[in-house]
Chain A
Amino acid sequence: MDWIEQAIFTSAETDRTSGYQVVAASPGIREDDVRELAAWGPSHGALLDSDAGGSSLNAHPLPSGGHCVSRTTPAGWEYSGRGGARVYTHCLVVPPQILARFANNPFALWRAVVANGSVHVYQEIPRRLEPVRLPGRAAAVDTALLAQLCANPGPQWMATLVQAALDSVTLAIIGGPPAENVIAGLVNCLPPGCRTEFSFSTGLKFSSRRPFRVVALSADRNEQRRVERLYNVAVLALSGDPPVGFAPVESWPRLILRALRSGRLSFLESRMAIHSGEISLHELPAFGLQMLEELDASALNDDPSDQIAVVAEEKTEGLRIVAEADLQGDDADDAAGAVGGDDAADEGPPMIAPAPQTQASRRWTVAHGPQRRKSAAPATRRRCTPPPCEHLDLGDRAVLEKLERLDDLVFDSIAGKAAALEQLKELWPQLCEELEDPLLAESREHYLRHALSAWGQHGKPDGVRDPNAAVQLLEVLCTLFQ
């Protein structure tokens, strides 16, 4: 069995120096890891809540390849007599294979360590600490926690948080349920293989010296404004409606939204358990699409009548497409939830509180009533209106070739080829004359999605984006939408 090394970072007077330092460590910790612990270690006044009950759970990677999972608490007084609480951080240096046993979930690992009786707040800090052995494992998803978060802040907010976490270099969260729950929920909403990419702290003041990817912010408006002004930090206040800028548009956040909305937590858990550790952040979009298909397929297999309900709701919305509904707030899923759509077939535990009934679902209940569910014919779930491609005369090779040419030009233009953009500017007006409006609209929608996706993948690891690429993208979109 592998060992977990441990260290304590706090303020004390030692033989080496005085003040905040790594005051004790078990012998197996590498020197570069110790220095990293000192760099990330929170010092005086770093806790958001410095009262006795305040604490922060933190996790970040280490140079050795392991991960630091730490708990910061106030512990006694500053040794130098300058007032204020002493900030005490107990760090565990966790090898990747042990963290993987706990589904790469630092919260689950910390709970296990506490249950094991392996961590203490030492009043007299020992000169030497011993490594910890930690048996056991954890489930891929904490369904109880997710069910709790479905009630507050709700599935839409959780999906928005996932989208924001994926999009942002740093995500700062204000308000809502306790930050530890929200961030633990966010971790649970990610596949285990991706979780180690998301360093976090649940109760430390933000500092660029500790570049956690997900942080909680206090209610202090000055502190919030300071962080809002920082570059590459997205600030989300968990109150009111989720911001449109982080609407769940990518496949994984959409999956989370639909799974949480429909209460299909055990679907999420089972699939994450199967693919535990396999999926990296890079592969997440493709995995998300695959999971969405699996979610649809399992819903179809479970209860075909549920699809009727969805279709009935969709028809009330006219030309709307369910995929679009996902983008705009998942009204369709709400409707399905209200009438026992694909939620009804769910094998997962019931949610503590169901998602609120939206206008769309109310509309369905009033206008059509549940009796329509039996009478409507099963149909494809994705589209309720004749797909735009039906406007095409498939025998018209010339049109198909033009569309293929259009695809090539748009993709090349988005990729930055100036010549392709020039040709697109000539071809697009011609196609606008020749093609039906629905087909044009669908084409625009797909190209817009591709442009957003390309922009999302364009950022460098430090979040810096090339303005030339932005201008090129804007030009392509302007051409297509004018």
Chain B
Amino acid sequence: MNLTIGKRKSKGGLVIAKRHFVTSVTLPLLLYESLGLFVLGWAVVLMFFDYSPGRLGGPILGLGGSNPFVGLGHFIQMIKGTSVEANLFRISLRNTLIFAVAVLPLNLAITLPLAWLLESIGTRFKALYRTIYFLPVLTSSVGVALIWLSMYDPQAGWINAIIRAVGGSPVAWLSDPRAGFANVSVAMWAVILAYLWQDYGYNMVIFIAALQGIPQELKEAALIDGANPWQAFRKISLPLIRPTMLFVCVMTMLSSFQIFDIIQVMTNGDPNNQTQVLMLDIYKSAFRYQNMGWAAAESFVLFLIVMGVTILQMRLLRTEWEY
């Protein structure tokens, strides 16, 4: 059978050639994925150890010995521990929740109306507007953070200049631990604003595409039947873009739970840990304090939250699809 391959491509030869191809693609892939599985396994094991890469530890991956097994110790600490790390974890968790809960509705309140307006105007300026709204999305978050850092400067910053111009008193946006609004510190509001500025173009573009996908006849039919544009939007467009809404909500939530770049550059968690979020806490624990077992446990908690919120949102928004 093998001998005939070169001479004439029999069906057997083709099957063998295909199998060869599949094997030569799958094998490296399997290896790569096994590396992934190994990394994941290591991450899971780390959560149960008090591990620091500086210590020698036991023979397998440096676990054991001077990096002792603590079982669920990290998680118990997180819930009722009084150590500095445990307190910082709880503060970070709270701040992350505040951040995400504030960002999602604000983002939707900006992007949905703007996308609707942009979709309804003529095509002449649409592309230009969309391009400009999208610019911050592609700007490196470090750049965004530095731009806003200069805007928030208590003395020479533009935001305080505007406040002074209308007769208000300037605010030390990123460093005053006492100033706040709606029980959330101004520093937190400041990073939320910077984040929104960077992010709204993305959701706008998604919403515009979804709104464009709605057949024109549906809207026209509603308008002919006497609906005003607002009713047409609420009763026709909004229900039809529900899948997109789901996507946008999940993605926005996911990325705001994992916020890191902008906050790390703008405040690094200050003032008084008021902007310390989970990713920042994980980063500092793992790479500044070399407390990697603890950091692994923290990232697992963040992962659980992210999964939970995603599943919840899918449930909530999916049940309403059946209209």
Binding between chains A and B:
no
**Residue positions of B touching A, CB distance < 8 A:** none
| Interface positions of A (Cβ within 8 A of B) | none
